[in-house]
Amino acid sequence: MSIARFSPFELLLLKSRSQVDTATLLLLAWVLVHRQHISEGQRRRRLADVSAQFRHGHELTPVMSIAHSQDLQAIQLAAEVVRKECSKARSLSVIHKAISVATDDGALSIANHYILRFLADLLNVAPVTLATLFQELTGAPLSSPEDPSRDAYWQIHDPDYHARKAREAAAAEQKARQEQARAEQQQRQKNEREQHKQQKQQDKQRRQDEARRAREQEQQRKREQTHQQEQEQERARQRKQSEREQRSRGHYSHQQEQRQQQSRNHYSDQQRPSPPPDRTTRALSVLGLRPGATRIEVRHAYRRMAQLHHPDRFYTKSDQQIALASARFQRIKNAYDYLMKTY
């Protein structure tokens, strides 16, 4: 047994002469609460106005206070009652009333956009019907709700702020520009001073450089003379050696060629099973083999794996196990097919 007492709306609903009317009243009050730029007295009068035909037979004040408190459970209960009890024609009239309550003269608030659409979904009213109904009642087409989660919305609805911000930004920029100009002037003065200093230094360095270069040139000339002498000696020695080699080469050349050919053959033998591509390795590992297995080994491994994982072995087990086994078997078979094609 629940300890919770009956909520105010439940009591109201139980006391009401017509439950649908009470529930509709709450939903209309909910719409009214979310209407902007309207006083409390106007709201109450509007609700009394729209519920003139209702047969609920109780006060409107408690309904209004429940709507103000945003009691989600009460609204849910009202929505369930309305959905359960309303016929097609009646639900259209409820939507009709909701639209007229939401937009008497002013614009539809964003919250009411969503509430109206919720009611339309609740009462099975198609978007086309809602749009035509809205057009007939207000003379304006039902637009999509504006989006305050976007920058563009606030650009339109709060232009003062942006103007102020732009002005502030402009002022800041001007200030920055002035500071930059001052800094540039200072920099220029400093640069001029430095240039003077640098020119003096450069003159000094140039004089030093010239003296050093003269000294180096003299040294170079001496070194070149000695180098030429050495080169001549070297050339004479090389000539003698090459004559000796030509005499001995006629003997050796044949043997050397043979050896080279052999080594080339050996090299290409090693190259042929090029490092196996990724897919081959994977297919081999599916069959439980290492890379480099022979065709016969692959066939044996396939037979063994197929026997182990054939789905027919699992026919007594659950459906899921059979499905798993057949997936495994398919993978093994794919790997085997691929290897037979490439090997």
Partner 1 sequence: MRDLYQRLAISPEANEQDIKRAVTSCQHSVLRQDAESVFAVAERRAAYDTLHETVSDIGRLRARLGLTHGAHWQGDVANDFSMPPDQAVSRHDELIGRVGLAVSLYNRWQRFRGPWLLITVFTTGASVGLALGLALCLGLIPM
Residue 156 binds to partner 1 (criterion: CB under 8 A): no
Write the DSSP string, 169-213: HHHHHHHHHHHHHHHHHHHHHHHHHHHHHHHHHHHHHHHHHHHHH
Q: Which stretch binds partner 1 (CB under 8 A): 60-68, 107-115, 255-263, 299-307?
A: 107-115
**69 vs 58: CA distance, rounded Å:** 19
8 Å CB contact between 32 and 47: yes
Closest CB to partner 1 among residues 84, 304: 84
Q: Sort 212 into a burial class: Cβ within 10 Å, 0-12 / 13-18 / 19+.
A: exposed
| End-to-end CA gap in the chain | 76
Among 40, 49, 104, 147, binds partner 1 (CB under 8 A): 147
Residue 154 binds to partner 1 (criterion: CB under 8 A): yes
Q: Which stretch binds partner 1 (CB under 8 A): 9-17, 196-204, 271-279, 323-331?
A: 9-17
Closest CB to partner 1 among residues 30, 314: 30
Minimum CB separation from partner 1 for residue 123, in Å? 11
Closest CB to partner 1 among residues 145, 311: 145
Q: Sort 248 into a burial class: Cβ within 10 Å, 0-12 / 13-18 / 19+.
A: exposed
Structure tokens at 6: 């009956």
Residue 81 binds to partner 1 (criterion: CB under 8 A): yes
Residue 126 binds to partner 1 (criterion: CB under 8 A): yes
Contact residues toward partner 1 (CB under 8 A) are 1-2, 6, 10, 13-14, 34, 70, 72-73, 75-77, 79-81, 83-84, 110-111, 114-115, 117-118, 120-122, 126-127, 130, 145, 147-151, 154-155, 158, 161
